[in-house]
């Protein structure tokens, strides 16, 4: 990467980080409050009645899934709202027609989503320490899964923003796709509890593999092997990155 594109990457990334940290009350506080309620209701109140799940207390079992849930929603929301705002204000066109490489634009926005997701994940992890003692089975698996997941949903948010025509279009995917897939992604239960048919149906849901890999990093237990989870993440990242590059390089949804 030449100096020009390197400066452009740093500028876009810095702009994205500044944007969500400047309005931290809207971007960082809500997920902290939401996850606290999940810990209190599902962990303390309902969890005390459920007992154990997979050999761990129910609170320990759901912590990785709740962290992953916050990572998914925040990485997606950051890029989709930011890119669409730039498109709506028509300043994204300046980047598209500039000598900045398409991959630099994508990496800049994805880097912003990744930064917000990691920061939110750290906040949620710190909150969970008030409710349960967290064990770390494999820190590398945790980091790799978190980075790949936040990158994937940052790319998904960018793709959504490219096609969106109004601000209302930004909320369609999170409401009708992400939320159902997340709740059915094994955050609150083990797939082994499901009938065999629904276990196979659940394997179609990519979020299942993300939660499974992330849970292995904490507890050393998962519904799939780490290699399977990471392979699914890598494949989806490559597909979404290719789609994002194609959309931006052709100016789809941007050039009139």
pLDDT in tens, 171-219: 888 888 888 888 888 888 888 888 888 888 888 999 999 999 999 999 9
Instruction: Report pLDDT for 156.
Output: 95
Question: What average pLDDT does this structure show over 102-122?
Answer: 95
Q: Higher confidence at residue 254 or residue 6?
A: 6
Instruction: Report pLDDT for 127.
Output: 92
The two structure tokens encoding residue 68: 């992953």
- What backbone phi and psi angles, to 5 degrees, belong to 52? -105, 155
Distance CA 250, CA 163 (A): 13
Question: What average pLDDT does this structure show over 155-161?
Answer: 94
Per-residue pLDDT band for 55 (boundaries 50, 70, 90) equals confident
Reference 151, options 44, 32, 233, 29; nearest CA is 233
Q: Give me the chain's average pLDDT, please.
A: 89
Question: Which residues are within 8 A (CB) of 108 and not within 5 positions of it... i.e. 6 or more apart?
Answer: 8, 9, 11, 12, 13, 15, 16
Q: Higher confidence at residue 42 or residue 81?
A: 81
Instruction: Report pLDDT for 256.
Output: 52
Question: What average pLDDT does this structure show over 119-143?
Answer: 91
Distance CA 25, CA 74 (A): 14
- Return left, alpha or beta for 90; rule: phi > 0 is left, psi -120 to 50 is alpha, else beta: left
pLDDT of 243 strictly over 90: yes
> pTM, whole model, 2 decimals?
0.92
Distance CA 215, CA 213 (A): 5
pLDDT of 15 strictly over 80: yes
Instruction: Report pLDDT for 51.
Output: 73
CA angle 165, 159, 155 (to 5 degrees): 145
User: Which long-range contacts link 250-255 to residues 24+ away (Cβ below 8 Å)?
Assistant: 251/96, 252/162, 252/163, 253/87, 253/162, 253/163, 253/164, 254/87, 254/92, 254/93, 254/96, 254/162, 255/93, 255/96
User: Is the Cβ–Cβ distance between 239 and 252 less than 8 Å?
Assistant: no
User: Is the Cβ–Cβ distance between 208 and 202 less than 8 Å?
Assistant: yes
Instruction: Report pLDDT for 255.
Output: 62
Instruction: Report pLDDT for 41.
Output: 84
Distance CA 84, CA 148 (A): 23
Distance CA 180, CA 91 (A): 34
Question: What average pLDDT does this structure show over 223-232?
Answer: 92
């Amino acid at each position: 990467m030449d100096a020009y594109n390197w400066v452009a990457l740093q500028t876009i990334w810095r702009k994205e980080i500044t944007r969500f940290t400047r309005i931290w009350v809207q971007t960082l506080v809500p997920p902290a409050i939401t996850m606290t309620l999940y810990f209190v209701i599902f962990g303390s109140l309902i969890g005390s009645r459920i007992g154990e799940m997979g050999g761990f207390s129910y609170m320990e079992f759901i912590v990785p899934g709740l962290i992953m849930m916050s990572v998914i929603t925040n990485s997606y929301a950051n890029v989709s709202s930011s890119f669409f705002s730039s498109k709506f204000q028509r300043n994204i066109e300046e980047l598209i027609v500039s000598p900045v490489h398409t991959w630099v634009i994508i990496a800049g926005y994805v880097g912003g989503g990744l930064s917000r997701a990691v920061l939110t994940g750290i906040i949620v992890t710190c909150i969970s320490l008030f409710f349960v003692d967290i064990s770390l089975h494999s820190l590398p698996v945790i980091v790799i899964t978190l980075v790949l997941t936040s990158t994937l949903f940052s790319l998904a948010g960018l793709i959504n923003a490219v096609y969106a025509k109004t601000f209302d279009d930004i909320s369609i995917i999170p409401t009708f796709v992400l939320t159902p897939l997340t709740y059915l992604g094994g955050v609150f239960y083990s797939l082994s509890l499901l009938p065999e048919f629904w276990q196979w149906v659940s394997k179609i849901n990519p979020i299942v593999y993300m939660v499974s890999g992330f849970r292995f990093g904490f507890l050393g237990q998962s519904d799939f092997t780490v290699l399977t989870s990471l392979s699914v993440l890598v494949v989806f990242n490559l597909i979404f990155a290719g789609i994002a590059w194609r959309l931006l390089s052709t100016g789809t949804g941007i050039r009139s």
